[in-house]
Structure 1
Amino acid sequence: MKSVVACIAGCLSAVSLSAMALDLHGLRADEVAIWAAPVEGGAELASLRADAAVNPASTMKLITSWVALNRLKPGYRWTTRLVSAAAVENGVLKGDLVWVGAGDPRFGMADLQTLLHSLRLRGIRQIEGRLLLDKSAFSSIGTADNFGGDEGKSFTVEPDTHLTGLKVAWLRFFNDGNGVRVALDPPLAGVRLQASLGNGGDTASTCPDVRQWVHIRQQGSQIEVSGKLPAACDGSQAYVNVLDQNDFAAQSFAALWSELGGSGPQGMALGRAPAGARTLAQFQSEPLSVALNDINKYSNNTMARTVYLTLGREDGSSGDTPADAQHAVRRLLAEQHISDEALVLENGCGLSRRERVSARLLGQVLLNAARGPYGNELLATLPLASEDGTLKRRFAATGPRLRMKTGTLKDVKALAGYWQAADGRRLAIVAIVNSPRALAMGPALDGIVADLIRRFDRSVPDNSANTVPDAIMQP
């Protein structure tokens, strides 16, 4: 009995000493989960509440990225196709054209234009039938619940098989010899733009954000723009999210097709590619590694959810895309002997009130990734401290030897990634704050990470956590 009591006391003492050894910079021990260990092997450097299930915010993207690199491979590409079973006579497609969406997360207006240009090169100038959207790549898109107050913001745009330009249209502003004006790009037929703009003249020397001088009001498919546009804002732009996914894709298609001299199609509907349909044009995306760069450096939720769903489509074990995506993640964790006990998945991007990981689970994924064949590919996607992405204005004195994925939600602030010492040794670090005061504790979180770096690498100076207050960014 004495030995049991002694063991319990010793274990409690070890936990207390571990917590006491870490300067939490004003955070309470129950507000933060911390884990750190050398990539090249050896004992853990730090562990505090490392097995607690916590909301990771966008550091969840690291798990999705790791699974995607291992399952899809870095060179994976999405292929978007235009197919039809109808005949072509004298440049006229005598029936429906089917746009088979692949869920390409980076498919943009320029890519759609390239796809349509290929259709024109085939000699087709008129589509006599309808444009059918084949959305069979995903059985459903899953959820990101309880973000209703964020509707209309770019980071809440839902994924889609026909995601086009992240469903963002651009307002282009001009103040030149032809007067003050604004144009919608692309010119979507279903969107009405009403502008009341005056000439702001030389009231500004620069134009960092045109919304400082113009007011943009959007209600449904109607956009109203008012204000006085300075000459310095000539050529500036601002984005708007309009229409639903299907209408945005179809109207973008029609606008760009018209610009290329094409006519039709005669409306839009949902449909499947018929048996025997032949491919008339196709567009192949950039590799997965390029998409992951956008996802992790800039914390793009829409793209991350699309990659997660692609994992489900390729897994295909049940035909339920979100469920199959979760299956793909858990199966790889099991194969690599990483416990998924703390893992709760909703959409794989961290834009979630429900998703959970433990700091240890996320840390073990980082170790596995760094030691695996695609470690360099994952590392290249992470923001470099003080240089780019969501870390551009943080860790000014530490510099690019620190690469970390950030995470921010209401009540969540997180960092996970790697430090590389000058001698090549690497440290995997996870630090996650779950607290009502999380958003105010960014400097504390940075301080904890800087302390862990100095504990691992004595050559780092004490001012490593120099941080410029960050602008509000995507979670």
Structure 2
Amino acid sequence: MRSVFALGVALCLVIVMLGLRAPLSVEERLDAVRAQFTADQTFWGIYVQEVASGRVLAAQHAHQGLLPASVQKLLTTAAALDLLGPEFRYQTVLYLNGSIESGVLRGDLILRGSGDPTFGSPSWDGPDPLRQWAQALAKQGITRIQGRIIGDDNVFDNRPYADGWDVDYLTSQFTHGLGFAVSGLSYHDNYVVVRVAATQPGAPPRVRQEPMAYLHLENRAVTAARRYGEALRMERAFGSESLRLYGTVPVGYQGTLELPVANPTRYTLEAFRRYLVAEGIRVEADLVDVDDLPSPPRYDRAQPLLVHTSAPLEEIVQLINRRSHNFYAEQLFRTLSPDGTAEGAARRIQAFLRRQGIDTQGLSIRDGSGLSRKNLVPPVVLGELLRAMHHHPAREAFLTSLPQGGERRSTLEGRLHNVPVRAKTGSLMHVRTLCGYTTTADGRMVAFALMANNYTLPAPRVVHAIDQMVRALHASP
């Protein structure tokens, strides 16, 4: 025994004499990356855990509630797969409460929404369901509709915006994915495409709306003689379907604005009316929001005419996480609620996490997409969620929804090429996050949550630091 002890001491002395030291720990490797790229100008929350054993490899401010940005979608999609199941499908139904005689439909046509985000969505491949319904009614010989066309959005409550959203998202956001209203009856992701093209100097640019001229648009913009320097501006009141374009566009300019609608139910009904007219059906019917009725429709007295069924949830969550689709995430979030409220959805997610054995202290959930600046999620919650979902019955649907490093048409398209990683990105002003899975040098899978808040240095530098941390995890023993 003494000889063995003496040999151990001798080996230690040799290591010290040769200047050797133990390999850096995972936490030390991550600290080195932070020190190199971000110094003290970023508040970091970090949690890294072995998936198989549950051993925590790194934890810094892991229990501090931080702004998650779009990694909030991990909570939404994981809870949905657990509560609804990967095979869950939305159904939107067209009902008739009336009669059809000699080609004349008299009574109420009722579009009953289920919260389906894919209904008429430009983000989803396939025919337009409203056009299909109009064609089907025409084929049944209907030539005239007399009565009312009612839109029922009551599966959700009447608060279309989450607590903590920026008002710019809802009025003048020029890029799709930020501005939208949540509704139980939605169409075309609840936004209108406005295409603007320059004409002759001094003349207004051409303006065209898609899929239809729904917004009341006043065009006061002018085509300038110069070839560069766009100065197009927009004025729009909150909750209004009217807007004014002004400013200038250069000669040769072609641009696109993607603008949210304020009343998705009315938007859906108007689109349906136009498709009916296009099929030669004379519409002598009022368009009515269900909230304007003295009492909700009696479906026990109505006849279901047509049904649109969505793709399964496992395909919908792929779009949510790979492309970080905010509208889809919010619709799915409200679907989780028994009463269609954001508060009900938040309670369902909290309960789901607790069933997975995850401590929800410090967690504040205000929306499903991560746009709200009132969300707070500790890194440990995200890390533990990732580990739980790796052992969950819906594991495959969840894991394959996360983009791989360098994957085309995903939020990781330009990042982490040739790194075995599946992860969800997050991005808001002064917030960059990345949460997912990678493997270490010896083949062990780890779940990680890397969250940067309140930084003052350029955002690309923070993103680069996060990517280098993932590479450091992959290279770690």
| Alignment counterpart, residue 397 of structure 2, candidates 360, 377, 383 | 377
Q: How does 1:53-72 map to 2 (within 5 A)?
A: 53-72=65-84
1:307 aligns with 2:324: no
Q: Which amino acid aligns with 1:95?
A: G
What letter matches 1:363 in structure 2?
G
Alignment of 1:166 onto 2:178: no
Q: How does 1:4-403 map to 2 (within 5 A)?
A: 18=27, 22-23=31-32, 24=34, 25-28=37-40, 31-41=43-53, 43-108=55-120, 110-141=128-159, 143-152=162-171, 153=173, 154=176, 155-171=178-194, 182-188=207-213, 191-192=216-217, 194=219, 215=232, 217=234, 219=236, 220-222=241-243, 224=245, 227=249, 230=252, 238-271=257-290, 272-274=296-298, 275-312=300-337, 316=338, 319=339, 321-388=341-408, 389-395=410-416, 398-399=417-418, 401-403=420-422
Distance 1:70 1:424, change over 3 A: farther
- Seen in structure 2, the aligned counterparts of structure 1 residues 256 and 401 have a Cα distance that, compared at 3 Å, is farther
Q: Equivalent residue of 1:352, what SS?
A: coil
Shift of 1:32: 0.5
Q: SS where residue 368 of structure 1 aligns?
A: helix
Amino acid in structure 1 at the alignment position of 2:148: R
Q: How far is the alpha carbon of 1:367 from its aligned partner?
A: 0.6
Q: What is the letter of the counterpart of residue 48 of structure 2? A: A
How much has 1:366 moved relative to structure 2?
Answer: 0.4
CA distance in 1, matches of 2:220, 2:129: 29
Separation of aligned partners in 1, 2:329 and 2:63: 25
Q: Using the alignment, how far apart are the partners of 2:219 and 2:211 within structure 1?
A: 15
Residue by residue over 1:237-256, the C-alpha shift from the partner in whole angstroms, topping out at 9 and shown as x without a partner, is 55333453233222212222
TM-superposed CA distance for 1:156, in Å, is 2.8
**How far apart, in 1, do the equivalents of 2:318 and 2:450 lie?**
22
- For residues 123 and 254 of structure 1, what CA distance do their matches in structure 2 show? 17
TM-score, reference length from structure 1: 0.78
Q: Normalising by the residue count of structure 2, what TM-score does the alignment of the two structures yield? A: 0.78
Whether contact under 8 Å (1:100, 1:133) holds in the other structure is yes
Q: Distance in 2 between matches of 1:403 and 1:278?
A: 46
SS of residue in 1 equivalent to 2:354: helix
Q: CA deviation at 1:214?
A: 9.3
CA contact (8 A) 1:387 1:399 kept: no
Q: Secondary structure at the match of 1:45?
A: strand
Query: Contact (CA 8 Å) 1:27, 1:441: kept in 2 or not?
Result: no
Distance 1:266 1:228, change over 3 A: farther
Unaligned runs of 5+ in 1: 1-15, 205-211, 460-475
Measured in 2, the distance between the counterparts of 1:34 and 1:430 equals 6
Aligned residue for 1:158, secondary structure, equals coil
C-alpha spacing 1:264/1:171, structure 2 compared with 1 (3 Å): same
Contact between 1:188 and 1:251, CA under 8 Å: does it hold in 2? no
Deviations 1:48-92 (A, max 9, x none): 111111111111110111011111111211111111210111222
Over alpha carbons, which structure has the higher Rg?
Answer: 2
Percent pairwise identity: 24
Cα distance in 1 for partners of 2:232, 2:336 equals 41
Secondary structure at the aligned position of 1:266 is classed as strand
Asked if 1 retains the 8 angstrom alpha-carbon contact of 2:41 and 2:455, the reply is no
1:33, distance to aligned residue in structure 2 (A): 0.5
Residue range with higher mean Cα deviation, 97-106 or 180-189:
180-189
8 Å contact from structure 1 (residues 36, 452) kept in 2 = no
Cα deviations across residues 348-395 of structure 1 (Å, max 9, x unaligned)? 221112111111111010011112222221122223322332222223
Structure 1 residues 91 and 402: CA distance shift in structure 2, 3 A: same
User: Could you say if the C-alpha distance between residues 127 and 190 of structure 1 is closer, same or farther in structure 2, counting changes exceeding 3 Å?
Assistant: farther
Contact 1:97 1:132 in 2 (8 A): yes
Opposite residue 297 of structure 2, the aligned amino acid is: A
Match of 2:7?
none
Alpha carbons 1:27, 1:444 under 8 Å: kept? no
Q: Does the CA-based 8 Å contact 2:434-2:466 persist in structure 1?
A: no
| Alpha-carbon distance between aligned partners in 2 of 1:147 and 1:422, rounded to the nearest angstrom | 42
Whether the 8 Å contact between 2:406 and 2:415 is mirrored in structure 1 is yes
